[in-house]
Structure 1
């Protein structure tokens, strides 16, 4: 299950987590973002402790969207050891998403 967490800084979370961090930027106004929620749940369930999955609302945190150059929803970023490893625009189904991410993990 994707866990709802509070954190003081996304940068601190990305840099201080030993496992890859998958950050999905979404918008409540975007219908594609809504379809991505169950895919993220499946991603976390199937990859377990190999990856941390985080969702960030661009409506609530527009400054983070600007900082990470998010131009469309959903857009996901994979960070490994604090560095951006890949950017995914749009929605991928769970099997394709896992296969794609495993190239980096």
Structure 2
């Protein structure tokens, strides 16, 4: 009974997660939906690992949001708060923040650490 209930709940979560909009705005994700996004995205994904208490993260946050709006549907931008999702940051060996990682077809292709300018974000996504 518990197994059936768990499978139904998990299936419902997957249905809700896949129905989320994939528009240009950046969004925060948890570890499970990040993995789903990385493995199913048809466009490159730029992931920013950050924390609310981090001064360089605060400095670059408006640039990340602006960049996300500017690129439209050419790529996706995802923000992961390491305090809320320590598993995701551990899985991707994030040791300093902010850390930006570009993924294509679910594989990491580039990494930058620190508050980077939009030009570098564009380069990371080959835009």
Place the TM-score, normalised by the shorter chain, in its bin: 0.7 to 0.9
- Among 62, 73, 77, the alignment partner of 1:38 is 62
The alpha carbon displacement at 1:84 in A equals 0.6
- The runs of 5 or more residues in structure 1 that have no matched partner are none
- Among 78, 89, 101, the alignment partner of 2:124 is 101
Structure 2: distance between partners of 1:102 and 1:20 = 6
* Contact 2:49–2:99 (Cα < 8 Å) also in 1: yes
* Contact 1:21–1:54 (Cα < 8 Å) also in 2: yes
Q: Between Structure 1 and Structure 2, which shows a larger proportion of helix residues?
A: 2
- Among 15, 26, 51, the alignment partner of 1:2 is 26
Structure 1: distance between partners of 2:35 and 2:105 = 11
Question: Using CA pairs below 8 Å that are at least 6 residues apart, which structure has the higher relative contact order?
Answer: 1
- Among 11, 25, 44, the alignment partner of 2:35 is 11
Name the SS for the 2:116 alignment partner: coil
- RMSD in angstroms over aligned alpha carbons? 1.9
What number of residue pairs does the alignment pair up? Answer: 103
TM-score normalised by L of structure 1:
0.85
Shift in CA distance, 18/38, structure 1 to aligned 2, threshold 3 Å: same
Q: What does residue 47 of structure 1 align with?
A: 71
